[in-house]
Each structure stands twice: as C-alpha cells, then as structure tokens.
C-alpha cells in the first residue's frame, strides 16, 4: 500500500489528499562505456539531422537505445549506435 498524505487548510477547511510516491532511482549508467565516449542528445540529433524531441520520442519507443546517466535522467547515445541507425534505419532495444 502506498502512503497517503492528508493536508488540511485550517482557514478554508479544504482537505487535500495526496498520494505520496517514493521514486526508486535505478542505476542510470549501466553501460561499461565511459561517459566521455557517449554523445549528448544534441550531438546525436545533429548526426541524425532530426530535432531533439524526435530523438527523445524514438528513444521512448525503443527505436534507438539511450543510456540514462543521472538522477535527472539525461540521455546519452553511443556513437556506434547512431552510425548503425543511419545505415540500418532502426535499432531495436533489447
């Protein structure tokens, strides 16, 4: 069961019930590739000649693999993956 937080405003007697979700951060950088060898989302999108948001969307769909590197969830991409994507047209994430 998830914890619930109840807030009561004494002036207006409004009650706010808020579901408190504790986010567990998974290891963000699980690759053996050093961070310096990974491309930023801007660099990868420039190589692919697409908008950054398109690359984010493709990453979310699993068309191209992104590595999350921080608690904020910044994406990084392997240069080899981008080059393979350019030749093959799609990379399915495993």
What average pLDDT does range 14-22 have in this prediction?
A: 55
pTM for this model (two decimals)? 0.60
**pLDDT category of residue 25 using cuts at 50, 70 and 90:** very low
Residue 26 confidence class, pLDDT cut points 50, 70, 90: very low
pLDDT in the model for residue 13: 59
Q: What are phi and psi of 4, to 5 degrees?
A: -120, 135
Query: Which sequence spans correspond to the domains of the chain?
Result: 35-94
pLDDT bin (cut points 50, 70, 90) of residue 41 is very high
Domain 35-94: state its class. Answer: mainly alpha
**d(Cα 3, Cα 22) in Å, to the nearest integer?**
9
pLDDT of res. 92: 55
- d(C-alpha 1, C-alpha 46), whole Å: 45
Average the pLDDT over 63-85 and give the result: 91
Is pLDDT above 80 for 27? no
């Amino acid at each position: 069961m998830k914890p619930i937080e109840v807030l009561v405003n004494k002036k207006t007697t409004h009650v706010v019930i808020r579901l408190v979700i504790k986010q567990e951060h998974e290891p963000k950088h699980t690759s053996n590739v050093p961070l310096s060898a990974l491309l930023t989302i801007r660099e990868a999108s420039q190589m692919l000649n697409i908008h950054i948001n398109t690359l984010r969307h493709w990453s979310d769909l699993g068309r191209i693999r992104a590595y999350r590197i921080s608690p904020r969830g910044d994406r990084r991409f392997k240069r080899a993956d981008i080059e393979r994507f350019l030749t093959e047209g799609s990379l399915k994430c495993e």
